[in-house]
Structure 1
Amino acid sequence: MSSHRQETVRRIAAPDIAARKGKTPIVCLTAYTAPVAEILDEHCDVLLVGDSLGMVVHGLPNTVGVTMEMMIMHGQAVMRGSRKAMVVVDMPFGSYEGSLEEAYANAARIMKETGAQAVKVEAGETVAETIAYMVKRGIPVMSHVGLRPQAVNMDGGFKAKGKGADERKRILEDARASEAAGAFAIVVEGVAEGLAKEITDAVAVPTIGIGASAGCDGQVLVVDDMLGLFSWTPKFVRRYADLKGEISRAAAAYADDVRERRFPGPGEIYFAKAG
């Protein structure tokens, strides 16, 4: 037997994130590829392999068409690129709603095939039971309340939530039910500031906001939005770069050099050895 031991990497895990409640805010960004994950890993506590990849990577109109195979492939890439951050993989639409056994089997498959530390599910009337079933069987689960992208066909679009009293009550109940079921953290998306704070104060696990005010225990953004890769972004996004403009300028300069035969130049080609 070989005495060689691989270096073990101590990644951030679910208990570490849960312990951050009310302390230093949790930094989270989405990641879908190994190179981007490698860049973000130094700065983030959590890398979320979000089903938003359906729209931002694959050009789908929403997240409904995302498959298990897509999530696993991108989850594997993010795990390869990162070393420190906790990696959480979204369970896609249709992979956890059918039955408790199906939800567990799909969650276990994601974790086995990617090596990720947790999965995320969008909460609803029946999801708390599913969260509890998976947690009891060793699957760390992050919940997601408020605006739920997988419910886009029910809601008729991506709309802010919690404006009416009944809806506020339901979202708060979803958050409390998620906590009671064993979720180690809760993403709160697209809700009014007051409701975000109410949820954060009502649950003992960290809340991670996206369009939900700075009152949450952490924040997450879609990395492509934050980097300015699209012409339009939601109101709650702050653009920290203009990569769309930079890429366009680089491509234009390359195209000009090719058309004017300036590229490749003498330093960018190979020459045969004399003799």
Structure 2
Amino acid sequence: MTATDAPPTGLQAERRGSVLLLAVDRPERRNAIDLPTATAIAGALDTFDADESLRVAVFTGRGGIFSAGMDLKAYTETGDRPIDPARGGFGIVRQPPRKPIIAAVEGAALGGGFEIALACDLVIAGEGARFGLPEVRRGLLASGGGLLRLPALVPRNIAMEAVLTGAPLTARRCAELGLVNRIVADGAALGAALELAAVIADNAPLAVQASKRIVLEAADWPHEEQFDRQEAYVEQVRSSADAREGAAAFLEKRRPQWRNR
């Protein structure tokens, strides 16, 4: 395991084979995100998207806490909000990576922390994890995607209660609602997320990325146009060298050698 670069302030970025591990490391601030950390997250995701050898990312927080969201102390002292011009709040919520990203959540994922998890494609949580949008209790709005993504993922009234009360949801409740893919013992979320990332990374990268794009974009496609609109993505993958390699590997009973083309 080697670091992709010297760890930037507030963030550790580590390459583990074809998986990029991003870990917020600000335990003294409960892994709250300040502007330098948001900038580092955005830069790491830019690297992730551009590097063909990296196929899946895992996002987590060190010290048993996912993230308490925006660093309010830094905000009150400097007025700087943790927003990247391109990727938005916390360096991710406006423009998540085009490749799959998994949240490994331990402890609190509150405010922007919950919004980061909502921006990820999959969520693995320790059984003691808590998810919430307490912004209304602080005179703020959950404008980092909480008010937009949560109602799209759970029933309207459940989302409404969460955003109007600011009360947290347990990992078990989030799993019941479909927000969490798997619950594991406390302390095991990162290991489980890395195992899941390895499974995804073994698959054809072009097919994985196109599949993610269709799932996300199809929600806005008119029903009668959905098959036509996905055809451009399907044809690009179907005509790729990796599609031929996948078929050949299946017939020859060997592991495919993906070339990302």
Q: Normalization by structure 1: what TM-score?
A: 0.32
Q: Which has the larger radius of gyration?
A: 1
